Amino acid sequence: MTNQTTLQLTERDAAMLAGDMGPATQMAMRILVTMAGVYGAERLLDIESAHIDGCLYHGYSGLEFAERLAGGGGRVAVPTTLNVGAMDLLHPEVFRGTAQVGQWATRMMRAYEAMGCRPTFTCAPYQALHRPPLGAQIAWAESNAIVFANSVLGARTNRYGDFIDICCAITGRAPDVGLHRAENRAGQLLFRLHDIPERLLGEDVLFPVLGYWLGARTGTKIPVIQGLRPDTTEDQLKALGAAAASSGGVALFHAAGVTPEAPTLDAAFQGRAPEAIIDVSLDDLRATLGVLSTVPDGPIDVVALGSPHFSLDEFARLLPLIEQYPPRPEVEFIVCTHRLALAALQQRGWLARLRAAGAQVIVDTCVVVTPIVRARDGVLMTNSGKFAHYSPGNIGLQVVYGSLEECVRSGAAGVVWRDGSLWAGEQGGEGAGEQGGRGAGEQRGRGAGESGPYSVVQSETGSELATRHPPLATRSLVSGHATGPALVLDAPLSLWGGLEPTTGDIIDQRHPQWGANVTGKVLVMPVGKGSSSASSILLEAARLGKAPAAILLAEPDAILALGSAVAREMYGVAPPVIVLAADTYARVGNGMNIIVTDGEVQLSEREY
């Protein structure tokens, strides 16, 4: 079964698709029409703004894409901001990669500027320049920006990936489907905070932990949180959403009595009953500390703050701490932020004080997207759930998670310092600060298997299957032909931070299939998660011949389909992306031979 939805185009849409407005606009509309089919949209809608994740260099394919659009006369039709790039253009000397990659990364950032995008170069545009109003229709990419815009601002965007973001910006259009529609924004799962200490509810350290726990159990559904304080801050919600969008595919959450579409619990669910009610205990959150930290407490080499980019309020909390507890000379202390914050720091005299205390302030980029950190191995400490999630795979550093004060004081000591009272409850506080180190391996393995509501049954012999089965019930997101052995993943995977496109290796050490290679395999997994850049990673893997032969999913994933569709647009080859029916997904066994033909999927008893 293939996509059957008929897309209704306006006269202007049709003119863009026909090339009347130039080759770049035609290419953008062609990709947008393809993706509208993936989403099952019947029409497109006008957008007010866009935020581009695709300006970050992941390989030469992304540069080729950007320069093809720019060279074809592409210009954005709506106000458009840019996510981080791979270079700090104001301080290029901090880049520690090769000169060639630096040149390509800079060209890529400039290509998007040439198309009329504003050079904000931040993952937090909502705190830097543009805050769309409640109900505004927008097309934003970058996982934390998406969840913040939807949840905290009440604007409306789907979970868009690299490439469709700029296509929406150029055409001024987006698929009228999903979270763009009010009826699809109702909460689905209720998470009730149970006996969380009042002090902890006000501490910043709680929110990445809660978000990370939440995302792993929510998948792509819409969670509603009951029990947050009404005075929960914007930065705390920012941290919660960023972590939830890293461990899961969360694009929207509601917090009862806190976020704009959830003045009450009933409003958050739009009068419907929740699909499930889950209580969140202090023990649940303590256990998540052991997932965020990948090594026991001990010596550290780097402190990294600012993912999402640090706000002025966060700098106001950091400054007195770092002046009181300056980092040791051998500990790198890096804070990532955006240009407007940097200018404000300069105006207030804070920048000089931060530098005098030993902090390096980076703009336009961040430590997990490009080589900035001096250390090539060792331990990075952070208060960011997103840094904690992506650092091991992206830059090869192990991580320890802690509060802002714990990070600063650990930098001063050169070893992890803990506030034992932070996670104290009825069990007392002395062990709480040590739990993230001692239980890291155990909790990491247990958490990986809890990433979603999917049961993956792997057959060692395939003996329950006939030699050749009738085609499985499917929905084709990107059609094509492929054959190869099945690589069945036990949990969702974010390709960015989870897959090395130059080798095809799975590099997310928290994933059950860490170390497996996807090249030439039929990749079978519940769904993607995490970063909007998964589409860029898939495109680069396809360019290098390291992509999976095909991708089979338990539920639709538009970002994976987008990477495949753009690979076909750019290079004429792409892995088919197919959604299997629920009653057939579990029949696929690891190593079984899979044959994909124009959206049909057949299983064979023969294994590779």
Q: Same structural domain for residues 334 and 247?
A: no
Residue closest to 127 by CA, chosen among 351, 306, 385:
306
Whole-number Cα distances in Å, 431 to 41, 205, 385, 407: 52, 17, 21, 18
Asked, for residue 457, whether it belongs to a domain, the answer is no
Which pLDDT score, from 0 to 100, does residue 474 have?
80
Alpha helical stretches, state H, 127-205: 143-148, 164-171, 198-201
Q: What torsion do the CA atoms of 41, 44, 48, 53 make, to the nearest 10 degrees?
A: 50
Question: Is residue 19 located within the same domain as residue 148?
Answer: yes
pLDDT tens figures, 56-80: 999 999 999 999 999 999 999 999 9
Q: pTM of the prediction?
A: 0.91
Say whether both 522 and 587 belong to one domain.
Answer: yes
Arithmetic mean of pLDDT, 428-447? 33
Domain containing 114: what range?
11-179
Give the mean model confidence (pLDDT) for residues 148-175. 98
Q: Quick one: 42 and 64 in the same domain?
A: yes
Q: Are residues 54 and 167 in the same domain?
A: yes
Considering only CA atoms, which of 182, 171, 183 is closest in space to residue 44?
171
Q: Are residues 42 and 130 in the same domain?
A: yes
Give the chain's domain count: 4
Beta bridge partners of 160: 141
Closest CA relative to residue 415, chosen from 331, 482, 508:
331
Q: Which residue has the tokens 């003045």?
A: 263
Are residue 167 and residue 25 in the same domain, yes or no?
Answer: yes
Of 25, 119, 102, give the one whose Cα is nearest residue 70: 25
**What does the pLDDT look like over 243-274, one tens digit per residue?**
999 999 999 999 999 999 999 999 999 999 99
pLDDT of residue 182: 98
- What secondary structure does DSSP assign to 280-349, as a single string? E-HHHHHHHHHHH--S-S-B-SEEEE-SSPPPHHHHHHHHHHHHHSPPPTTSEEEEEE-HHHHHHHHHHT
pLDDT tens sequence across 310-319: 999 999 999 9
Q: Are residues 270 and 318 in the same domain?
A: no
In one letter, which amino acid is 578?
I
Both tokens assigned to 485: 């052995």
Whether residue 449 is contained in a domain is answered as: no
Q: Rounded CA gap, 425 and 433, in Å? A: 12
* Contact status, residue 443 vs residue 287, Cβ threshold 8 Å: yes
pLDDT tens column, 218-243:
999 999 999 999 999 999 999 999 99
Q: Which residues contact 15 (CB under 8 A, 6 or more apart)?
A: 21
Both tokens of 322, joined, read: 């770092």
What's the sign of the alpha-carbon dihedral 229, 230, 235, 238? positive
User: Could you tell me the CATH number of the domain that includes residue 545?
Assistant: 3.50.30.10
Domain stops at, among 264, 291, 318: 291
Domain shared by 212 and 344, yes or no = no
Q: Give the pairing type, strands 550-553 and 398-401.
A: unpaired
In a domain, 452, yes or no: no
In this structure, are residues 507 and 393 in contact, taking their beta carbons and an 8 Å threshold?
yes
- CB atoms under 10 Å from CB of 326, counted, come to 17
